[in-house]
Structure 1
Amino acid sequence: MDTRSALIEAAAELLAHSPNGDVSTRAVSEAAGVQQPVLYRLFGDKNGLLRATVDHVWDQYLGSKRAAEKSPDPLQDLRAGWDSHTAFALAHPNAYKLMFSSALGEEPEAAAEALRILREVLDRLARQGRLRVAPDVAARMVMSANTGVALALITRPALYPDMGLSVMVRDAIHAAILLDPAADTTANDARQAAATTLLSSMDEFTPQPFTPAESALLTQWLDQLAGPGRKG
């Protein structure tokens, strides 16, 4: 194991057992058997070390998502993704809180990766005509709600003792972004779903039937048909 990895592993271990969610660079250096100047040379400062540590811890979680086999129904994957996100937060509360802490300055790379994986599932739903809003809007809605519930459960357990809260919020958010094909839908719902589906499939036409100018104009029209939630 190289020095950088040793420092990250030491920081992750200390972070996992920290009662207040903080670690010192001295403790990390001692645990890794490295002098503090080496730590600062590799990471710049403490926040640089913590960002790398958060990415390391989250990468283990995201790795399982990358490797997971897609189910035939993307809704099943969407639900499973929410539940595994909450479970990860409960299992790694300190690393989870750091991911969404403004104290780190720059956003850890894992945040963008988590949103990208979520967006892929929502793209599949959009192509099936099952989204009320565009995938990018739906992704932000789902991620912000999932994050909010997870943070509430790990930071205020006395106020939020019911682990079932996560499932209840999950189902409410999914109902807000998804069309139920078994239920009656309004003409407006159908119009928005159709526009969102076509928008999600624009890049898949081979060859492209429109010029760049025509594609831009069609996208603008579809944006309007998809409704005000499209651009969020």
Structure 2
Amino acid sequence: MAAIAIRGLTRVHQAAWGPVAALGPLDLDIASGEVVAVIGPSGCGKSTLLRLIAGLDAPTTGTVAFAAGRPRIGMVFQDNRLLPWLDVAGNVGLPLRIAGVPRAARAARARALCADVGLAGFEDHWPATLSGGMAQRAALARAFAQDPDILLLDEPFAALDAITRARMNAELRGHCRRLGATVLLVTHALDEAAALADRIVVLTGRPGQVARIARMHKAGPGGTSDGLIADLARGLADA
């Protein structure tokens, strides 16, 4: 069984003017340890898909099934969603606190995670004092806190400048390899999707359905062919 098996998934929002079909029907299998990027036009339901997988929203119809039964899921949003009244270590260790991990153990784990994402020495800093890239590093460390089986990334670096985004993507590749988690990444950046993903899923316009799935054949470490990116761009324009 796939790590994530999606069958007939739909989501209909109730707006003031009536029902709005946001997603589906959608069928998709994601293998254990696979990194899958989801791209598509704005408003096609990419973020909705992640929220349905995470259990933050309920599907209108269809199912999301997990091979692990009840997997540990980590999620990183476009906005870092750090709690302003907790310092960096407190934010990173928050999932462990909720899980009842003793104070000393979660403090040690938070320090180790901060070091892993390049935030050693910033454990006592408040979120308001961090740059955008540093705040997203903290959000990523928080998602790693419980060694997730599944990592959901909703355009986590979209608000960052190009240089910082490229650096964060390179770091994310390393973290994903070490973690061995199944990763689903939503992005608008084709180069980001091609560099990070094993497969790219292209969705149609709203309500999003699978228009195409492309398997990446990397041209080198972290690279892929320009021709494939151009082909995907044409497919996205037609979606």
Please tell me the TM-score bracket, short chain as reference. under 0.3
Larger Rg: 1
Q: Tell me the TM-score normalized by structure 1.
A: 0.28
The structure with the largest strand share of the pair is 2
Q: Tell me the TM-score normalized by structure 2.
A: 0.27
Q: Which has the higher contact order (CA 8 A, sep 6+)?
A: 2
